[in-house]
């Protein structure tokens, strides 16, 4: 059995602050990309960087596929932030933001 050391109060405050920052960032992504300007930019990014298209094409030079994968990974991250379910019950307390 693995014994874990109890988390110190300082580490607990740090964890709560990091959760609060993650919540705020997720809300910012949702707020921006659900706005009219955000929807316009999201559509442009998907078109510009090959959202959900086949990456490998005949005649591609070495390294090109990796570049395309890198671009798509950013889109996947943004999409995950936009689609992430958030509820008010998950919202951290206000004092966690001032740790």
CB 26 within 8 A of CB 81: yes
pLDDT at 39: 96
Question: For 66-89, what is the mean pLDDT?
Answer: 86
Whether residue 99 has pLDDT greater than 60: no
Predicted confidence band of residue 86 (pLDDT cuts 50, 70, 90): confident
Per-residue model confidence as pLDDT tens digits over 14-39: 988 898 898 899 999 999 999 999 99
Whether residue 43 has pLDDT greater than 90: yes
pTM: 0.69
CB 99 within 8 A of CB 16: yes
């Amino acid at each position: 059995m693995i014994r874990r050391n109890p988390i110190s109060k300082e580490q607990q405050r740090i964890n709560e602050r990091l959760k609060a920052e993650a919540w705020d960032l997720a809300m910012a992504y949702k707020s921006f990309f659900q706005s009219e300007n955000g929807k316009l930019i999201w559509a442009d990014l998907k078109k510009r960087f090959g959202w959900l298209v086949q990456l490998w094409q005949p005649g591609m030079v070495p390294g090109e596929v990796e570049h395309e994968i890198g671009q798509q990974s950013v889109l996947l991250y943004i999409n995950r932030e936009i689609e992430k379910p958030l509820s008010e019950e998950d919202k951290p307390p206000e004092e966690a933001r001032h740790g």
